[in-house]
Amino acid sequence: MFRKILFGTCISLVAFTGTVSADSDTKVALVPGGPHPYFTAWEQAGKDAAKDFGLASADYKVPQKWELGAQNQLLESLVTQGYNAFLVFPGDPVGTVGIVDELVGTGAVAMALAGCLRDPSEAVFCMGTDTGNSAYLGTQELLESLGGGEGKKIVHFTGFLVDANTKLRIDAVEQAASEAGAEVIQVIADIDAPEPAEEKINAYLAAHADEVDGIITTAWVPAVVAANALRKIGDKRIKMVGIDHDEVLLQAVKDGFVHGTMLQNPYGQGYIGSFAADKLRQGCTIKADAPFKSNALTDKFIDSGTVFAGVDEVDDYVTSMQSITKTLFESFESTYLDC
């Protein structure tokens, strides 16, 4: 059901940036909080970065389950295996600070990827989707598809409550709805896994579909499950905006069951993150006046980009993400690094 779409080597940026590979002893580990389809693009990003920048390696390493202890144990074992750069999705924005600080204490470079640590931490920066902005823009797209928000009733299906991004998304959807005169009549969170998503979304729509004008989903699994649910009941009256690029969701957009999806940029996070980690290990430093953004967790945030893809764009979504990654990469060194 949840099919992977890797961005593949076709997105590799060297072809249009002219970056020259150089031998390096940098050994990058890209470590998510646990198994999840969103992060699979990191695997190809690491492979491409290792090839393009001459890194010793850049490997995707996944904890067996979503537990902070499992992620910490994996990170500790990777140090003993010689990894010296860590791109980490925090299993917990506070609980992961300690292990990241320990990694940096070994002389490694560490950064938070796709989710941030709460300041202060030894992570050089956090790079990920501006999740609040993505949720806000996605809700605006949904309300526009409904002909405006006044009096409309929408529901919000979203991710794990332990993920700090979830609170940002809930607040952003509420804000966009309120500004347009719409009402968020239900938020269902903690369902970014197949079993709870299937159970709760299908039960909710079975009981309340007639009361709903629109659906916004801000996590991968709920987006797929909700798209399938609308297809099964044959409902094109309810408009929906999803997130990410699962094949099930993209096909639902093409078939008219989903209005569109908010694309994120996991490939760019992994690729550019690996590039930056190597540069920092080779002696570059973070610019004192680097134009970091702030969010609820950190003042060292870099937005990896987001864009809406509707039926006219969904067939060419990779190009949309290439464009975002290319733009960020081309100016990354001059913007954030002193080399």
93-134, pLDDT tens digit by residue? 999 999 999 999 999 999 999 999 999 999 999 999 999 999
Domain boundaries, the chain: 27-129+265-305+315-338, 131-263
Name the CATH topology of 27-129+265-305+315-338: Rossmann fold (3.40.50)
Could you give the percent of the chain with pLDDT greater than 70?
Answer: 94
The arithmetic mean of pLDDT across residues 192-204, rounded, is: 95
pLDDT tens digit sequence for 231-273: 999 989 999 999 999 999 999 999 999 999 999 999 999 999 9
Average pLDDT over the chain, rounded to an integer: 92
User: Angle at Cα 317 formed by Cα 252 and Cα 182, nearest 5°?
Assistant: 55
Task: For residue 318, give both structure tokens.
Answer: 């990779």
Going by pLDDT thresholds of 50, 70 and 90, the confidence category of residue 157 is: very high
Shared fold status for 27-129+265-305+315-338 and 131-263: yes
Task: Name the band, by pLDDT with cuts 50, 70 and 90, for residue 5.
Answer: very low
Rounded CA-CA distance 186/295 in Å is 25
pLDDT-based confidence at residue 162 (cuts at 50, 70, 90): confident
Task: Please give the helix or strand (H or E) that residue 234 lies within, else none.
Answer: none
- The confidence score (pLDDT) of residue 165 equals 84
For 131-263, CATH gives 3.40.50.2300
SS3 label, residue 85: strand
Each residue of 82-96: pLDDT tens digit? 999 999 999 999 999
**DSSP label of 209:** G
Q: What tokens were used for 237?
A: 């009256």
The answer to whether residues 325 and 267 touch, using CB atoms and an 8 Å cutoff, is yes
Model-level pTM?
0.83
